[in-house]
Structures are given as C-alpha cells and as structure tokens.
C-alpha cells in the first residue's frame, strides 16, 4: 500500500512511549498519540465515576420503595450519571482518544494540524471536568442532564450554575478538537490519499468534527441564557418573567440531538474498520457508507423536535419532525445492511475486536429500530419519558458507542502499546458485556410500554419484576466493564509483544512500527491503493 520505511531507519527512531520518561514530557507534549493517551486515562476515570452513579441507581431500583437513598439524592445521582457519561465520557471517547491517536496516521500525517491546540483541548477538557465534577460533588445538581427550564433556572436549589459553567467549558474543548480534525483532514492527507481513499473511520470522525463545530456553540449559548436567567432573573425561559420554556427545549435539542450522532458516528467508523479486517475482504459499498455518514450528519440537524411531541409544540411541527426522524433512520439502516454484506464471502475470524463489532451491529440495530417506535407520533405520546426511551438510547449509546469504543481499544491496543491483550479474557469480557447489557436494558423496553416513567426513585410494585431483572443485569455489566480494566493493566506489563501488525490489517496506521515513533512514519507514505485492500 505504501513505500515501506527502511528497517534501519525505523530501528533508530524510539517509539512515542520511549521518547522521554519525565512527567513534563507527558503534560507538555504536542504529540497527538500522547495526548490521546492522556484523554484515555481521563475518560476512563470519568467512565467509572459515572458507572458508580449508575450502579447506585440500579441498586435503589431493585425494590419499589425508595429505601437506599432519598429522592433528593436519587435525583442527583441520575443527573451525575447523565452529565458525566454524556459530556465527560461519550462525546470525547472515540474522537478524542482513538481519533486523536489514529487519524493523523490513517491519512499519513505526522500529527494533527494544530498540535498545541490539541494539548490545549485536553487542558480545557480537564478544567471543564473539574468544574462539573466539583458541582456534582459539592452538593450535587438535581435537574437531570437535560436542565429543563423553568425548573433548572428558577426552582432547583442545587449547584446548577457551576455545572452549567463546567459543561460550557467542556464545549470549548469539543469545538477545538473538531476544528483541529477538520483542518487536518483537509490539509494534511498524504500524497495519493484522495477523499474516497479515506478509511471510513476518518470519514466518521470528520463528519463528527463538523457537528461538534456547528452544534456545540448553540449549547454554549443555551447554557449561558439559563445562567443569566438563574443569576440575574432576566426572563428568557420562565413564563413568570415573560420567557418561554419551549424555547429552551428547542435550543437544547438543537445541540443534543446532533450530539447523539457525535456519540455514534465515530462508533460506526470503528466498526467499519474492524469488520473488513476480520472478514478479510473490503467493506461492501464503500462510497455509500461514506455518503451515509454525511447523510446522518446533515439530517441529524433537522430532527430535534422529535424530543418534543408531547411538549405542547404545534401538531404540524410534530409531523414534520416525525417524517425527518424516519428519514434519518434510512442511512443508519443502509450502514447495517452494508456491514452485513461485508461478511458475505469473507473468511471470518472471531477475535475480541470482532466480537465487539458484531455486538455493536446487533445492539445498534435494536436501538435504531426501537427509535422508529418513538418517531411514530401517536406511539411517542405513550412512550415518551418512560423507560422505553431509557432503553432505546442506552442501546444506541452503550450497546452501540461503548461496545465500539471497547472494540476499538482491543483492536488498536497492540498499535498503542506494542503488546497484546489476553485473547480469551477479551472474548469472555465481550460475551459478558453483551449478555449483561441485554439483561439490564431489554426489560426496560417492557417497563416503558407498561407505563413506568423515567426519573422515579420509587415506583408501584407491579414494575418490580422487570426492575429486578434490570438490576441483576447491571451487576453482570459492571463485572464485564471491570474485566478489561484489569487485563489491559496486566497486558501493559506482561502482555505478549504483538509485532507491528498483528491483525494483518491494511490501514496506513499499521504500516509503521507498534508503538509508532513520535513522527509516525520514518518516510512520508504515498498512497496508491483503495482502502481495505484485504485478500483472503
């Protein structure tokens, strides 16, 4: 695929990990790979904090009575879970860790376009994370991650302003990363790396970066307006002051619906890398896959009103948003069909990354199809704000994005560290997570149809059977998530050396050493082939 760098030269350049060992060489680094590792450590920390909140939520819901925590504490727990998982884990997860680490290598570049800005993004992320976590720990926030007004602006007695400030700062980190990615893909592609030779992972992160840059400023403005109303009593969203609460919902979902695609597009990119590699054949319908990514990114901006079918918005607006929501499902369906077709006449092996990718396809399909129930207007009247919605978006964000994130970490772990993870443990964890996930969230579809509302810390006893199943699933899921933490840690010290390209994968990132040298390639690569040139 490329002109291979000479062995002698490669031996001379130390890997990015061995370049320097001081603390400052990490905290002051401009290397996209080291910054990716910094991101990985921080989002892992936040993932387990958010997961702890989820564990307490599921523990409370094992019985109908509110007996473990008070209503007040429960409300703060689900707010903490939502805020941390959305803004501190899911949004940065695949782009900031794997996008950062891989994208420059995948397009044959030495780094991102603005390495210092990249490091600044991480520090901004840390500052936002500290503020947000501070708000959650110093008394907590009880508004839910959606901050609906006028409750958040005028009624809540919790640390709303500090949390808003934290999320505002986090938004800047997103915007800076997005900007960096866009410029990098436009200007730093290696000779021969045309747009339709880009790996789908790069396409996905590019589309995500555009959404980050276009949608996040709207979130920032919305949060500032809530803060202004709360602090200065200026009527914006509270009707008692002359404001309009639905205005908040329009602004919030104008960001937060595209944010769903920020979370899931990169996951689709990951799966599009893994499936061809383990099926040993090119991805089916490459161009259509790229178009589907762009289609999702564009239509995703036009469906925000489907969160508001029972909010009192006009019936005609509801009809338009419903139709557009059905349309946005089409490119997602096209992607699922293309991944399936990629398996046809392949030569398939089932290493851990492939198990995660197949798990993603299954869970994302269920998550996407249950979205059609919610897009169908009359059905949403019944299902909106019930556990059906909770189950639906967890299938997309956890069953989809987290599965893909874990698949990606397993797939590129040898590239990042030079070592292999223990394969049988990897497969066991994938199976445990898949089982635990379904046991946790499938019962919630039934709960929702039965009418169990969201955000209840106590509930009528007829819902207990399904809640108990869900809580039992959460125990299995928690175990599944702790396993990789343990064996990846073990692998850093004792893992078998994997060589430069243990998966015999074709991407440019596999044409250099594992772990790669600081400058990525000994010689600038030249691309002469289509992507996914797999042979059986």
User: Of 349 and 528, which has the nearer Cβ to other proteins?
Assistant: 349
Q: Are 523 and 6 in contact (CB under 8 A)?
A: yes
User: Of 257 and 419, which has the nearer Cβ to other proteins?
Assistant: 257
Smallest gap, in angstroms, from Cβ of residue 351 to other proteins?
A: 11
Smallest gap, in angstroms, from Cβ of residue 355 to other proteins?
A: 11
Smallest gap, in angstroms, from Cβ of residue 240 to other proteins?
A: 7
What's the rounded Cα separation, in Å, for the pair 177 and 184?
10
What's the rounded Cα separation, in Å, for the pair 293 and 396?
16
Smallest gap, in angstroms, from Cβ of residue 449 to other proteins?
A: 7
What values do phi and psi take at 419, rounded to 5?
-120, 155
User: Of 112 and 447, which has the nearer Cβ to other proteins?
Assistant: 447
Smallest gap, in angstroms, from Cβ of residue 137 to other proteins?
A: 20
Cα 382 to Cα 395, 442, 452, 510, distances in angstroms: 20, 18, 11, 50
Q: Which residues does 194 contact at the CB level (< 8 Å), separation at least 6?
A: 527
Smallest gap, in angstroms, from Cβ of residue 267 to other proteins?
A: 17
What's the rounded Cα separation, in Å, for the pair 171 and 506?
35
Tell me which DSSP letter residue 385 carries. Answer: T
Q: Are 289 and 200 in contact (CB under 8 A)?
A: yes
User: Of 214 and 376, which has the nearer Cβ to other proteins?
Assistant: 376
User: Of 68 and 310, which has the nearer Cβ to other proteins?
Assistant: 310
Q: Are 460 and 419 in contact (CB under 8 A)?
A: no
Smallest gap, in angstroms, from Cβ of residue 112 to other proteins?
A: 31
What's the rounded Cα separation, in Å, for the pair 337 and 193?
27
DSSP per residue over 451-510, as a string? Answer: T-BSS-SS--GGGHHHHHHHHHHHHHHHHHHHHHHHHHHHHHHHPPB--S-TT---SGGG
User: Of 22 and 157, which has the nearer Cβ to other proteins?
Assistant: 157
Smallest gap, in angstroms, from Cβ of residue 423 to other proteins?
A: 15
Cα 312 to Cα 246, 396, 478, distances in angstroms: 8, 27, 39
What's the rounded Cα separation, in Å, for the pair 94 and 263?
8
Cα 396 to Cα 90, 99, 144, 441, 446, distances in angstroms: 11, 20, 19, 11, 17
User: Of 217 and 282, which has the nearer Cβ to other proteins?
Assistant: 282
Closest listed residue to residue 313, CA positions, set 247, 373, 239: 247
User: Of 48 and 151, which has the nearer Cβ to other proteins?
Assistant: 151
The sign one gets for the Cα dihedral 290, 264, 192, 113 is: positive
User: Of 213 and 329, which has the nearer Cβ to other proteins?
Assistant: 329
Q: Are 525 and 108 in contact (CB under 8 A)?
A: yes
User: Of 186 and 455, which has the nearer Cβ to other proteins?
Assistant: 455
Smallest gap, in angstroms, from Cβ of residue 480 to other proteins?
A: 21
Smallest gap, in angstroms, from Cβ of residue 502 to other proteins?
A: 15
Q: Are 180 and 112 in contact (CB under 8 A)?
A: yes
């Amino acid at each position: 695929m490329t002109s291979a760098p000479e062995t002698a030269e490669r031996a001379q350049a130390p890997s990015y990990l061995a370049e320097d060992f001081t603390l400052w060489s990490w905290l002051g680094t401009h290397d996209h790979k080291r910054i990716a590792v910094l991101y990985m450590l921080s989002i892992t920390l936040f993932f387990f904090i958010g997961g702890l909140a989820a564990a307490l939520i599921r523990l409370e819901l094992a019985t109908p009575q509110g007996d473990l925590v008070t209503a007040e504490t429960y409300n703060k727990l689900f707010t903490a879970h939502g805020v941390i998982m959305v803004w501190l884990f899911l949004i940065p997860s695949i782009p900031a860790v794997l996008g950062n680490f891989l994208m420059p290598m995948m397009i044959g570049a030495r780094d991102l376009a603005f390495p210092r800005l990249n490091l600044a993004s991480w520090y901004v992320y840390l500052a936002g994370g500290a503020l947000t976590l501070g708000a959650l720990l110093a008394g907590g926030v009880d508004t839910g991650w959606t901050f609906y007004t006028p409750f958040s602006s005028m009624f809540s007695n919790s640390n709303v302003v500090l949390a808003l400030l934290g999320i505002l700062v986090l938004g800047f980190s997103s915007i800076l990363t997005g900007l960096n990615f866009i410029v990098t893909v436009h200007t730093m592609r290696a000779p021969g790396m045309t747009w339709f030779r880009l790996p789908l992972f790069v396409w996905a992160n590019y589309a995500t970066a555009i959404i980050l840059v276009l949608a996040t400023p709207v979130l920032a403005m919305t949060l500032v307006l809530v803060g202004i109303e709360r602090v200065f009593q200026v009527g914006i969203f509270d009707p008692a002051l002359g404001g309009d609460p639905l205005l908040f919902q329009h602004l919030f979902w104008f960001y937060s619906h595209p944010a769903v695609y920020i979370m899931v597009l990169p996951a689709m990119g990951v799966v599009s890398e893994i499936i061809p590699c383990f099926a040993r054949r090119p991805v089916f319908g490459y161009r259509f896959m790229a178009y589907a990514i762009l289609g999702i990114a564009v239509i995703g901006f036009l469906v925000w009103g489907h969160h508001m079918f029972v909010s009192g918005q006009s019936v005609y607006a509801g009809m338009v948003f419903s139709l557009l929501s059905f349309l946005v499902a089409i490119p997602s369906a096209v992607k699922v069909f293309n991944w399936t077709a990629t398996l046809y006449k392949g030569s398939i092996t089932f290493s851990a990354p492939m198990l995660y990718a197949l798990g993603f396809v299954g869970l994302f399909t269920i998550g996407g199809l249950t979205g059609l129930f919610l897009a169908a207007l009359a059905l949403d009247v019944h299902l909106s704000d019930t556990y059906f919605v909770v189950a639906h978006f967890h299938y997309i964000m956890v069953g989809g994005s987290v599965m893909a994130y874990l698949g990606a970490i397993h797939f590129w772990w040898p590239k990042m560290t030079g070592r292999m993870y223990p394969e049988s443990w990897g497969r066991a964890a994938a199976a445990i997570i898949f089982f635990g996930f379904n046991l946790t969230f499938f019962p919630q579809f039934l709960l929702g149809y039965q009418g169990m509302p969201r955000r209840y810390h106590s509930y009528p006893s007829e819902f207990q059977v399904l809640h108990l199943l869900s809580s039992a699933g959460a125990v299995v899921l928690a175990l599944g998530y702790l396993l990789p933490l343990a064996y990846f840690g073990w692998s850093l010290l004792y893992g078998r050396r994997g060589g430069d390209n243990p998966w015999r994968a074709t991407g440019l990132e596999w044409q250099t050493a594992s772990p790669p040298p600081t400058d990525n390639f000994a010689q600038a690569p030249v691309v002469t082939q289509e992507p996914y040139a797999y042979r059986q």
